[in-house]
Chains A and B, each alone.
Chain A
Amino acid sequence: MEKKNLKKLIEELEFKCVTGVNLLDKEPKWAYVSDLLSDVMGKAQPQMIWVTSQIHKNIVAVASLIDLSAIVIVNERKPDENMLKLAEEEGVVVLTSDKPAFETAGMLYRDLAPQPPKGKRGVFKRT
């Protein structure tokens, strides 16, 4: 399947880009959903997109530390000025989604998942 960069994902999934507009040619590897920063620090991998409802400014540092490709803030939550300023400084892409985490993650999964092997899923064989 064709690899999608952030710009393409934003267009398709109707995210809004709030910081890092000139960094959207990154190709995200996969995504991780969590609201616990300690968990993200331990488990998320570089180049992943992070889906969260946290808007505390520490999320910027975590994204920068692990080199995540973007943060998607869900549920129309509004990040504050301080956090956005820090994200611009650190070169962290912050996107917002007006959908809840489950829907946002579902759309990302659909777009980022490798194609399932043919004939192995969803086929009911009568014996």
Chain B
Amino acid sequence: MELGHKNNLFVIGGCEINTQEEVHCLAYFRDLQLLNEFQQYLDEHLPDIKNDASLFGHQVAVDEFDNIIYEEEKLLIAALDVDLETVAEKVLSMGGVFIPAHIDKSKNSIFSQLGFMPFGLKYSALEVSWRTSVPKFIEKYPKLGNEKFIQSSDAHYLEDIGKVYTEFMMEKLDWENFVKEFAP
């Protein structure tokens, strides 16, 4: 975020969450303070399983110069002990943006894990992966035709960043205008 600031880029901080049902979701927050607060929530609810780097790779955190600051020992692909609805409420109650991830995928999506959209689930938008497009997805699930969508890359490698993306028409590059895009 600091690096973005120096380079005149507006960076929004967030994370991918794995809920109890192993549904992947995205959460974005206004600033570092809220991100840290949410990180505490994740730490509390992520089970204490140690990462085996030979199986899952190294979980490193880097600074703005790509120096490794530390290596996370807790296994980050593990699922939280809280359910989808509870996580959604937590994110939204902190003023965050909550988006069920890659809902078109047959792995770790709402549809794969839970069969259909849970009644009463609150979210800011839905994300589709690079494998489809929003019109194609709506053609398949016409009931979701009135939802808000983003499309993003679910990038786990540097070269995948920006593979697909979503454009926002914003008056000003700030959090308020970003959140406005998700207003009902």
Query: Taking beta carbons and an 8 Å cutoff, which residues of A are in contact with B?
Result: 35-38, 40-41, 54-58, 61-62, 80
Contact = CB atoms under 8 A, between A and B. Distances in A.
A38 B21 contact: no
B106 interface: yes
B113 interface: yes
Contacts of B20: 55-56
A60 B115 CA distance: 11
Interface in B120-159: none
13 contacts: A36-B113, A38-B106, A38-B112, A38-B113, A38-B114, A40-B115, A41-B115, A54-B21, A55-B20, A56-B84, A57-B118, A58-B114, A61-B116
Contact of A56 (B83, B106, B111, B112): B83
B146 to A, nearest CB: 21
A103 B113 CA distance: 23
B8 to A, nearest CB: 43
A40 B114 CA distance: 10
A52 B112 CA distance: 15
Most chain B beta-carbon contacts within 10 A, residue among A35, A57, A58, A62? A58
Contacts of B116: 37, 58, 61
A40 B112 CA distance: 10
B118 A37 contact: no
A36 B115 CA distance: 8
Contacts of B115: 37-38, 40-41, 58, 61-62
A94 to B, nearest CB: 16
A24 to B, nearest CB: 26
A35 B115 CA distance: 11
Contacts of A35: 22, 113
Interface string B74-115: 000000000110000000000000000000001000011111
Given A56-B83, A56-B84, A36 B118 contact: no
B84 A36 contact: no
Contacts of A61: 115-116
The 5 residue pairs across chains A and B that have the minimum distance between CB atoms:
A37-B115, A58-B114, A56-B21, A38-B112, A41-B115
B129 to A, nearest CB: 16
Contact of A37 (B83, B84, B106, B114): B114
A36 B83 contact: no
Contacts of A55: 20, 83
Given A36-B112, A56-B118, 12 more contacts: A35-B113, A37-B114, A38-B106, A38-B112, A38-B115, A54-B21, A56-B21, A56-B84, A57-B118, A58-B118, A61-B115, A62-B115
